[in-house]
């Protein structure tokens, strides 16, 4: 069950991108689990990847290929992470890239591989290679939602969004898909995200935009505090729209493009939280009044990842003592607890470090029964503020992860 998330509609094709999906029988149940994105010649690609030191074989190879070549294809399999597989995992990923290169006539290092699923299992190379001819044959510009479905693992709903904007006299399309539901605290991007535009933009500006957008979105979410071995986020510009190349961050066109991409990234990252494993609530943890940005982020994440806080939200129990405990454990050594205010939406529960005189349990309970809640913490020590999006922690989360491999 997701919180306030609907099946995507009105997804726009992006000039220069074609996609396809098929069932490669990687899962025990029959479903699409193999996806191909074709990028037109001249496309520019920026990417960020997990900082987990146990990063998967496809992450290692995708980073190598992206560093030195212009990608023509993204190949994504679901159901198998190809992580914790050693040298054989690298060989297996290279095998699938080589097979696809032979089918399409591109170079092996012009392919970016991605995997998601169970860690520690050998990649089913034969199944993937057998599905590649079908993928190449079925490529179409209209398969974005199908691709969003095929890259899912424990997700309950595909996640995709589009925007159409004007840059000068040119009409620009932007579309993105993402998968992710558990093992979420990206520390770079998200589980797997692919965002594309036909805007003409320089590689330097694309890199700059990606990092900015990621830090405003995918680096502000957490379900369970665990950074995956396979996280990757890719931003593609096919440069097919015909606008004058955007090569400066000072231009009006760049600001419009950047703001639109940040909006897309935020919507997709929040979709992950809304579809978080076992989620019954969508929580915004907003911390204001910090001396610096990092301490606001530290407090927000400490609250967002506290099992005691998260389970209180599941029970709709305004147990504000757990919130104070998390704030006090956030690592700010010179924090004056007598200055701290805490609100549940517009209900003040803590004032000057203690229970607010206007607060009642009835007021707190009313807010806690909502599906979407803003928890505001004011440190009252500076001008910085940040927010993090997270879920509660329900019985269903435990059930999903206890049964994940069965």
pLDDT in tens for each of the 406 residues of the chain? 689 999 998 899 999 999 999 999 999 889 999 999 999 999 999 999 988 888 999 999 999 999 988 999 999 999 999 999 999 999 999 999 999 999 999 999 999 999 999 999 999 999 999 999 999 999 999 999 999 999 999 899 999 999 999 999 999 999 999 998 776 676 655 479 999 999 999 999 999 999 999 999 999 998 877 777 888 999 999 999 999 999 999 999 999 999 999 999 999 999 999 998 889 999 999 999 999 999 999 999 999 999 999 999 999 999 999 999 999 999 999 999 999 999 999 999 999 999 999 999 999 999 999 999 999 999 999 999 999 999 999 898 888 788 877 6
Count Cβ atoms within 10 A of the Cβ of residue 232 and give its class: 0-12 exposed, 13-18 middle, 19 or more buried: buried
Torsion 275-277-282-283 (CA) sign:
negative
Yes or no: say if 174 and 261 are a contact pair by the CB < 8 Å rule: yes
pTM, entire model: 0.94
Closest-CA residue to 313 (of 373, 251, 363, 353): 373
Whether 406 is a known active-site residue: answer: no
- Report pLDDT for 1: 67
Distance CA 11, CA 24 (A): 25
Residue 352, CB-side half-sphere exposure with 13 Å CA sphere: 3
The neighbouring-strand residues paired with 112 are: 74
35, 104, 190, 229: which is the annotated catalytic residue? 190
pLDDT of residue 142: 96
d(CA 274, CA 280): 8
Domain architecture of the chain: domains with CATH? 17-274 (3.60.70.12), 282-402 (3.10.20.340)
């Amino acid at each position: 069950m997701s919180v306030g998330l609907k099946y995507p509609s009105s997804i726009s094709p992006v000039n220069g991108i074609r996609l396809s999906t098929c069932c490669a029988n990687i899962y025990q149940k029959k479903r699409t689990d193999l996806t191909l994105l074709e990028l037109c010649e001249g496309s520019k690609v920026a990417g960020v990847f997990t900082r987990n030191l146990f990063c998967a074989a496809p992450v290692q190879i995708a980073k190598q290929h992206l560093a030195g070549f212009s990608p023509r294809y993204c190949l994504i399999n679901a159901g198998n992470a190809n992580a914790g597989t050693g040298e054989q995992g690298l060989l297996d990923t290279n095998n699938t890239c080589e097979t696809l290169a032979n089918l399409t006539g591109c170079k092996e290092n012009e392919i970016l591989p991605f995997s998601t699923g169970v860690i520690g299992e050998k990649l089913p190379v034969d199944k993937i290679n057998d599905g590649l001819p079908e993928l190449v044959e079925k490529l179409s510009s209209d398969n974005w939602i199908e691709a969003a479905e095929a890259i899912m693992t424990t997700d309950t709903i595909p996640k995709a969004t589009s925007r159409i904007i004007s840059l000068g006299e040119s009409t620009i399309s932007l579309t993105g898909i993402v998968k992710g539901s558990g093992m979420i605290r990206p520390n770079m991007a998200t589980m797997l995200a692919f965002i594309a535009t036909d805007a003409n933009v320089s590689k330097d500006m694309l890199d700059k935009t990606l990092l900015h957008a990621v830090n405003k979105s995918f680096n502000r979410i957490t379900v369970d505090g665990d950074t995956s071995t396979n996280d990757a986020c890719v931003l593609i510009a096919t440069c097919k729209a015909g606008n004058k190349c955007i090569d400066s961050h000072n231009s009006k066109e760049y600001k419009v493009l950047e703001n639109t991409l940040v909006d897309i990234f935020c919507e997709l990252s929040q979709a992950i939280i809304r579809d978080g494993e076992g989620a019954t609530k969508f929580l915004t943890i907003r911390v204001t009044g910090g001396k610096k940005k990092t301490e606001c982020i530290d407090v927000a994440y400490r609250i967002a990842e506290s099992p005691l806080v998260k389970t209180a939200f599941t029970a709709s129990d305004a147990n504000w003592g757990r919130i104070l405990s998390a704030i006090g454990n956030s690592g700010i050594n010179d924090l004056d607890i007598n200055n701290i205010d805490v609100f549940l939406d517009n209900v003040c529960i803590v004032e000057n470090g203690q229970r607010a005189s206007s607060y009642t349990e009835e007021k707190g309970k009313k807010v806690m029964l909502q599906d979407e809640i803003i928890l505001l913490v004011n440190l009252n020590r500076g001008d910085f503020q940040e927010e993090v999006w997270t879920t509660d922690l329900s019985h269903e989360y435990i059930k999903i992860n206890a049964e994940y491999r069965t």
